[in-house]
Amino acid sequence: MHKRSMKHATVVITGATSGIGRAIAMEFAAAKANLVLAARNEDNLRDIVQECIRQGAHAVSVPTDVSELDAMEKLAAMAEAAFEGPIAVWINNAGIGTFGEFSETPLEAHVQVVKTNLIGYMNGCFAVLPYFKKARTGVIINMNSSGAFVPMPFASGYSASKFGLLGFMEALRGELIHDTNIHVCDIYPYFVNTPGFRHAGNYMGVTLKPLPLTIESEVVAQAVFALAQSPRAQTTLGWPTYAARVAYTLFPGLTRSLTGQFLRAYFQTAVPSPQTEGTIFESKREIGRSSGTPSAVAHLPALKPLVSKPMILGAAGLAAVGLGVFLATRSKSRAKLSGKMKSEIDDPSVRTLSENDDYPLYERLQGSQIAKA
Catalytic site positions:
158
Q: Are the C-beta atoms of 187 and 223 separated by less than 8 Å?
A: yes
Strand 234-237: give its sheet, edge to edge: 58-63, 34-39, 10-14, 87-92, 138-143, 182-189, 234-237
d(CA 276, CA 109): 11
**Rounded Cα gap, residues 26 and 104, in angstroms:** 38
CA dihedral in degrees (322, 325, 329, 331; nearest 10)?
Answer: 100
Classified as helix, coil or strand, 223 is helix
* CB neighbour burial string for 144-160, b if at least 16 within 10 angstroms, e if fewer: bbbbbbbbbbbbbbbbb
Of 91, 96, 113, nearest to 33 (Cα)? 91
- Residue 247 contacts by C-beta under 8 Å, 6 or more apart in sequence? 150, 254, 255, 318
